[in-house]
Amino acid sequence: MTTITRKIQMVDLAGQYNKIKTEIDNAIASVIHSTAFINGPEVKAFQAELEKYLGVKHVIPCANGTDALQIAMMALGLKPGDEVITANFTFVATAEVIGLLGLTPVLVDVYPGTYTLNIDAVKKAITPKTKAIVPVHLFGQCAEMEELMKLAKEHNLYVIEDNAQAIGADYKYSNGTFTKAGTLGHFGTTSFFPSKNLGGYGDGGAFFTNDDALAKKARSITNHGSTVQYYHDDIGVNSRLDSIQAAILRVKLRYLDEYCAARQKAAAFYDKAFANHPKIKTPERSKQSTHVFHQYTLVFNNVDRNKLREHLTTKGIPAMIYYPVPLHLQKAYRDPRYKEGDFPVTEALCASVLSLPIHTELDDETQKFITDSVLEFVK
Ligand SMILES: *Cc1c(COP(=O)(O)O)cnc(C)c1O
């Protein structure tokens, strides 16, 4: 087995930066020289460029992906007591903002193959109090949006796509046409956290809509409920994307498709190495979406996943558990409506998943070392 001299990371942000160093450094310097730190021209330019890339009418930049979800829910006028259906298997932010706004999170299970919202479970969870559904495009591919939008229309519900992990993915309609992930629902949200597929060098977020009235409302809420300075029509928040982050993101947006392709290539390498292994399940691809591999997540059967992780750590290979605890078993989200065993797929996933390093700078030699090390443990 080969040895690797360079430190292996889940995400290699330094390697990625080195390739575009001059462009990034110039972008940052130009904002500093302009001193337009807040809502400067870079923010407006990034907004317009992301609108064009996504093919969506309105992009509203904000401070982070969690705020994007919260402001979208505020703009939809959701009120305390309203029920919002979302996936149990997700990063906590999705449910957190539902709770923060006094809305009732209604958790549903996911599909065992794609880890996205189970449509039948959503159907069963709809009550007269349901107002919205929040599908999560987990690990980089879309939930079954066409079915969800149809269901939402039948029941007069809003749909907010949590697209923090799938920016750049393409959703494929059943008629064969494509649209970008995050642009099908009433709102789509994303995060520019550094390790996300389109990551800044600090916090950042945005949300999108094709609806003019919703965009206007959301823009106002993002800016203290104000469209005319010092006049406040709504109780809003202060949530802005920094000009420096916008300038960095403008550079990185130009590389997003290349970054997605690099992640897909790395995923294909892993797929091949673990294909048909009786104890390892490689990530299933949705028929309705491309996969941009924010994470490459394996499911291990009859393997001590935690011991495997330790084995990898001793070899200098990081591996992460996304996510170790289902929402309904988290202290903050315990609810008498739910008990252990209620979400068999999510619970099984939390006990058996492990995500391997995936980023834009992986080479075959490093990946071979990683896959050999996994297979050395998982006989
Ligand atoms: C990262 C992430 C968020 C939150 O984004 P922040 O910018 O960290 O607030 C929300 N939902 C999902 C699924 C995420 O992965």
Which of 219, 253, 287 is the last residue in one of the domains?
253
Q: Is 111 found in the same domain as 220?
A: yes
User: Do 177 and 98 lie in a common domain?
Assistant: yes
For range 132-151, the mean pLDDT = 98
Task: For 345-361, give one letter per residue: b (16+ CB within 10 A) or e.
Answer: bbbebbebbbbbbbbbb
Nearest to 345 by CA among 276, 284, 274, 289: 284
Question: Quick check: 267 pLDDT over 90?
Answer: yes
Kindly state whether residue 305 falls inside one of the protein's structural domains: yes
Tell how strand 158-162 and strand 187-191 pair up.
parallel
Q: How confident is the model at residue 292 (pLDDT cuts 50, 70, 90)?
A: very high
Residue 91 lies in a domain: yes
Both 21 and 120 in one domain: the answer is yes
Residues 132 and 232 in one domain: yes
- Same domain (yes/no): 292, 359: yes
My answer on whether 106 and 209 are in the same domain is yes
Same domain, yes or no, for 176 and 140? yes
Nearest-5° Cα angle at 219, 64 to 164: 30
Q: What is the distance between the alpha carbons of residues 160 and 297, in angstroms, rounded to a whole number?
A: 24
How does residue 328 score in pLDDT terms, banded at 50, 70 and 90? very high
* Euclidean distance between CA atoms 99 and 102, whole angstroms: 5
Instruction: Tell me the H-state helices in the chain.
Output: 13-19, 21-34, 41-54, 65-75, 93-100, 119-125, 145-155, 212-222, 243-253, 256-274, 305-314, 344-352, 364-377
Calculate what percentage of the chain has a pLDDT beyond 70: 99
Mutate to test the pocket of ligand 1, among 193, 197, 207, 322 (most ligand atoms within 8 A of CB): 193
Residues 152 and 51 occupy one common structural domain: yes
What pLDDT, on the 0 to 100 scale, is given for residue 41? 97
Q: Which of 253, 278, 311 is the last residue of a domain?
A: 253
pLDDT in tens, 145-175: 999 999 999 999 999 999 999 999 999 999 9
Q: Check if the beta carbon of residue 114 is closer than 8 Å to that of residue 127.
A: no
What domain range is 84 assigned to?
15-253
Is pLDDT larger for residue 89 or for residue 379?
Answer: 89
Give distance in angstroms: CA of 66 to centre of ligand 1: 6
Q: Is the CB of 118 under 6 A from ligand 1?
A: no
Task: Write the burial class of residue 64 (CB in 10 Å: 0-12 exposed, 13-18 middle, 19+ buried).
Answer: buried
| Cβ of 197 below 6 Å from ligand 1 | no
Boundary residue ending a domain (231, 253, 275)? 253
Task: Look at residue 5 in the predicted model and tell me its pLDDT.
Answer: 66
Q: Is the pLDDT of residue 204 over 90?
A: yes
CA 106 to chain centre: 19
Q: Average pLDDT, whole number, for the chain? A: 96
Residue 94 beta carbon below 6 angstroms from any ligand 1 atom: yes
In this structure, is residue 343 part of a structural domain?
Answer: yes
Same-domain pairing of 86 and 149 = yes
In a domain, 133, yes or no: yes
Q: What is the mean pLDDT of residues 313-338?
A: 96
CB of residue 66 inside a 6 A radius of ligand 1: yes
pTM of the model: 0.97
The predicted-structure confidence for 103-134, as pLDDT tens digits, reads as follows 999 999 999 999 999 999 999 999 999 999 99
Question: Hey, what are 211's tokens?
Answer: 């609806």
63 lines ligand 1 (CB under 6 A): no
240 and 300, same domain (yes or no) = no
CA 249 – ligand 1 centroid, Å: 17
Q: Retrieve residue 331's tokens.
A: 């202290």
Give 310 or 5, the one with higher predicted confidence.
Answer: 310
CATH number where 343 lies: 3.90.1150.10
> What is the pLDDT confidence band of residue 96, given thresholds at 50, 70 and 90?
very high
- Do residues 202 and 317 both lie within one domain? no
Residue 242 and residue 311 in one domain: no
Distance (Å, whole) CA 113 – CA 284 = 5
Confidence of residue 6 (pLDDT cuts 50, 70, 90): confident
| Overall domain count for the chain | 2
Is 116 near ligand 1, meaning CB less than 6 Å away? no
Domain of residue 116, CATH code: 3.40.640.10
